[in-house]
Amino acid sequence: MLRAWASEFFTIFWVVLVTVIAGRIIDDFGFAMWIGTALYLVHHLVHANRLYVWMRGGRSGRIPAGTGIWEEIYYLIHKLRRRNKRRKKQLIRMLEQFRTATSALPDATVVLGARDEIDWFNESACRLLGLRKSDLGQNIGNLVRYPKFAEHLKHSRHSATVSIPSPADEALQLEIRIVPYGEDSRLLIAQDVTQLRFMERVRSDFVANVSHELRTPLTVLRGYMETLTEGGQDLPASSYKKMVQRMVEQTSRMQSLVDNLLSLTRLESGPPKPATVVQVPLLLDRLCKEANLVEAPEHAPVRLVLDSQVSLLGNETDLHSAFANLISNAVKYSRPSDTVTVRWSQEEAGGVRLDVEDTGPGIPKEHLPRLTERFYRVEIEGCRSKSGTGLGLAIVKHVMSRHDAELFIASELGRGSRFTCVFPPSRVVAGSDASRPNFPM
């Protein structure tokens, strides 16, 4: 910088010197000074024009040739332009990273201007809010037409949220928050809370169902306990025995409910257990014999058909629980004249399947999609028992999920029902593969 100014002062010195000499020669110092000043201004105007042309070109290009202070000015501008170019590239890279990151966000993100016009949005906003590229610049209130949203948009607070259905899919529930930033801009964030709302509803239904299931046996027990406390010593032996028997039945019902709830909780959130080779034909034979012996004398007989002798890689306790529930339900919701058939067979694709089929009254089609829900029960006319907890098929569903299997339910009124568990080939163990290593489930 000092060299540039030194060079400039040297130029001025020579201009003044030449002007003085010329003024002495022509004997007119004023005219000579005017000519020298004009030439010095022309020198600066030429360099200013070079700077103008260079700057207007828009590209850094080659630095114009200059002398004195102009050489330093050209260099500093060139250096500043290179720095700005690097900063611009860095900003573009950061913007691309920001867009990539926001595109990966599961929540819809929309940048709103001063008049609630859309300045930018990510890909999730297309899926959750139904926005398109052509919507840029449009007012968000004209695209998301819900009174609750319009009111929230008008009087939004940082901590407040509003829940509305998704404009793109009415089945989705969105929770929207609007956060102000900058001077006039706002950030709209829409989160998909469909699963959260479903879990809240399931939890509420779960508490209500458990309370309902426990209320009846507790009421019965309390009534009998009060009767025994007030005058149980005067009751005849037959009445006393009947009361105790009913109390045992109700406690057994509560115990069954608690056991099923614990099993379901373990299946849903418990740690995976190592799989072992489960001899399914032997397991089914034992379960069918128990069903024929333990159930009441007047019930549908259980027939076992073994079309295959293959085993499964899985957890024997879980499979025992699932298969027992299927067989018990088939017997429970069948008439004494009906037949329950348990079939174990292989599929052409290499998998294996279990069919539990009965010739009972069947289940109405409208109930089939909800049979695996907790506490969901169907009242079937003519069945000898309706005392189940409503958790059996929910347990079966989770056991199948843990064993990479699928549960299929088919039923026709008046002709019976069929529950099918299909296991993939990766779970099948032939007789010669009984020593296959375990793997976590």
The predicted structure's pLDDT at residue 267: 64
The predicted structure's pLDDT at residue 439: 44
The predicted structure's pLDDT at residue 296: 52
- Structural domains of the chain sorted by starting position, each given as residue range(s) with its CATH number in brackets: 2-99 (no CATH), 105-192 (3.30.450.20), 199-264 (1.10.287.130), 276-433 (3.30.565.10)
- The Cβ-side half-sphere exposure at 228, using a 13 Å CA radius, reads 14
Which residue's structure tokens are 């299929």? 408
The predicted structure's pLDDT at residue 91: 86
pLDDT averages per 10-residue partition of the chain, 441 residues? 68 76 76 79 81 72 74 80 86 81 82 89 89 90 88 77 89 90 86 85 73 77 79 70 80 76 68 80 92 70 91 90 89 84 90 92 85 76 58 86 91 89 90 48 50
pLDDT tens-place string over residues 63-118: 777 777 777 787 788 888 888 888 888 888 887 887 777 777 888 989 898 888 99
The predicted structure's pLDDT at residue 319: 92
Please state, in angstroms and rounded to a whole number, the distance separating the CA atoms of residues 267 and 400: 10
Please state, in angstroms and rounded to a whole number, the distance separating the CA atoms of residues 64 and 213: 91
CA distances from 164 to 107, 177, 402 (A): 14, 11, 35
The predicted structure's pLDDT at residue 153: 85
Please state, in angstroms and rounded to a whole number, the distance separating the CA atoms of residues 95 and 13: 53
The 3 state secondary structure assigned to 176-203 is EEEEEECCCEEEEEEEECHHHHHHHHHH
Mean of the per-residue pLDDT values of the chain: 81
Give DSSP secondary structure letters for 79-126: HHHHHHHHHHHHHHHHHHHHHHHHHH-SSEEEEE-TTSBEEEE-HHHH
Answering whether pTM is above 0.85, one says no
Interaxial angle between packed helices 316-332 and 392-402, expressed in degrees from 0 to 180 and rounded to the nearest 10: 140
**CB-count burial class (<10 Å; 0-12, 13-18, 19+) for 302:** buried
